[in-house]
Amino acid sequence: METEAQSSEARFVAYVDALSVVLGREDRAQPLKDYCTGLLMPGERKSVEPMAAVVAPSRVSAKHQSLLHLVGQAAWSDAAVLDKVRQLVAPAIEAQGGIEAWIVDDTGFAKKGVHSVGVARQYCGRLGKTDNCQIAVTLSIANHAASLPIAYRLYLPEDWAKDAARRQKTHVPDDVKFQTKPEIALDQIRTALAAGVAPGVLLADAGYGVDGAFRSGVTTLGLTYAVGVQSTLSVWPPGMEPLPPKPWRGRGRKPSRMRRDADHAPVDAKKLATGLAQEAWRMVSWREGSNETLSSRFAAIRIRPASRDWKRSTPHPCEWLLIEWPESEKEPTKYWLSTLPEDTPIEALVDTAKLRWRIERDYEELKSELGLAHFEGRGWRGFHHHATLCIAAYGFLIRERAAIPPSAPRDRQTPPLPPRPRPRGAADQTRTTRRKLDRHNPPKTHGRAGQKPHALPMLPCQEPKSDISRIVVTQ
C-alpha cells in the first residue's frame, strides 16, 4: 500500500512537472525540482549553497552551479511561472470558499551595502523602521482559509531608476521605469484582471489607501475596496458635501468646480470619529485568535472623501468610513475607506477589512520557513526568480493542506503573529523549540527500506487537519 510519504512525493513531482512546462527548456526541470525541494526541506538558510548540500550531498559543487544558473541566469519568465502556480493552486483555495479578496501589500528585506538591486534607505516593515533594504510589491488572492501571492515585483527607487551604471550592473530591464508602489500595484491588478483571475474585494493598508489615485484606479477597474487610511483623511460628515460651483454671471468661463469656505468645510477622520455618539460604537468579532475570539469596538458611517474635491465638478461618491477604537485606547487606532454596498452590515465590513491579516501570515511563512529573505545575489533576475520559486513551493504546501480532510470543525484557532519583527539573523525561538522537541520525539520513517525521508515543516499558521502531522517529500 502506498504510504502518505510516497503519495506526497508523487504529488510534488506532478506539481513540479506542471511548472517545468513554462520554463522554456527541458533541462531546467530537474534544477526546478531540486530548488523547490531545497526550499521545502528543513534548514537554517535557503540560499543556493546550503540547498545544494541538502539535495545533493555527494556532488555539492555541481548541484550548486545548476541551482545558481537556474535562479541567477536562466531567462525564464517569472510572470509565466506565477501564472501557472495560480492555475494549479487557485482551485484548492476556491474549494475552501471561493476567492473573497485581492490583497495589495509590500514586504521588505534588510540588506547591507549599496550594490544589490533596488537597495536604499527606506521604511522596512519587517524591521519596523527606516533602514537599508529592498522592497517588493505583491498582489495576493485570498479567502478565510488560504491566500497566495500571484504577482511580485521589486520597487525600484527613483535614484536607482535614473542611475544607468547601477541598472546595467544589476541587469535591470530597459522597460522598467520608476513607478510608485501604488502604480506598481495597479499594474499588477490590471494584469490579474486581464488573466481572468476571479475578482475579490481589494484590500490594502494605509500606505496604499491614502493615495487617492490608487483608490480611483481600483474603482475604475471595476473592483470594490476596503483600504486603510490615516486619521488625517479629510472627509465630509454624513449629510454634508461641497458647495456647488459659483453662480455664473454671464461673462467668462462658467464656474464648474466645487467649493468650500470657512463656514462650510470638511473635517479630518479623527475629529469625526471622536465626535460620534456613544451608540454609534459596537463590539464586533471577526475571527478566532490563539487564545480567544478577536473583537474590538467599531463604528461605520457613510461619508464623502473630501480630498482635492475643489478641483472636481462633482462631489466624491459616498463611501464607508470604518473606524476601530478599542475600549482600552484613548483614541481611535485604525481607519478604513470602503466602497462596499451601502447595505453592508458592520460585521461584514469588519470581517472584510480584517482579512488583510492573511498576507502578513504569508510573508511570515515565506520568510521564516521557505527562505524568501535568504537570496544572496545582487541582480534583478535572481531577486525575482528566487521569490517566484519560493511562492511556487508555498503553493505546493497550500495544495497539500487543502487536500488533507478535516478531522475537526474548520473554525480553528490561529497562532498569533510574532509580537514584533525578527531581524534577519536573529534566533527563531519557535524553530529552536521545534528542534528540541524533535530530538525527544523523532518522526517515524515512512520511506522505503534504507531511505530517510525529509519532512517538510508544518508551518505555524496551520494546525494539522488529520492525524498526519507532516507533509513528506523524499529525495
φ/ψ of residue 354, rounded to 5: -75, -10
The pLDDT > 70 percentage for the chain reads: 84
Q: To which H or E segment does residue 286 belong?
A: strand 282-288
pLDDT at 2: 57
Say yes or no to pLDDT of 4 above 80.
no
Contacts of 468 (CB under 8 A, 6+ apart): 4, 404
- Residue range 291-334, pLDDT digits in tens: 889 999 999 999 999 988 878 878 888 999 999 999 999 999 99
Rounded Cα distance between 7 and 263, Å, is: 72
Rounded Cα distance between 385 and 115, Å, is: 18
Rounded Cα distance between 219 and 226, Å, is: 11
- Residue range 184-234, pLDDT digits in tens: 999 999 999 999 999 999 999 999 999 999 999 999 999 999 999 999 999
* Per-residue cell: 166: 547601477
Task: Indicate if the alpha-carbon torsion angle 158, 161, 166, 169 is positive or negative.
Answer: positive
Longest dimension (CA), the chain: 95
Hey, what long-range contacts does 23-30 have (CB within 8 A, 24 or more apart)? 23/74, 23/76, 23/81, 24/75, 24/76, 24/77, 25/74, 25/76, 28/70, 28/74, 28/76, 30/66
For 225, which DSSP code? E
3-state secondary structure of 348: helix
Rounded Cα distance between 95 and 82, Å, is: 20
Say yes or no to pLDDT of 80 above 70.
yes
pTM of the complete model beyond 0.85: no
Rounded Cα distance between 464 and 4, Å, is: 14
Phi-psi region of 102 (alpha: psi -120 to 50; beta: other; left: phi over 0): beta
- Residue range 132-162, pLDDT digits in tens: 999 999 999 999 999 999 999 999 999 999 9
Confidence of residue 408 (pLDDT cuts 50, 70, 90): very low
pLDDT at 127: 74
With cell 544589490, the residue in question is: 116
Rounded Cα distance between 154 and 106, Å, is: 9
pLDDT at 67: 95
Say yes or no to pLDDT of 278 above 90.
yes
* Per-residue cell: 420: 514584533
Rounded Cα distance between 381 and 43, Å, is: 24
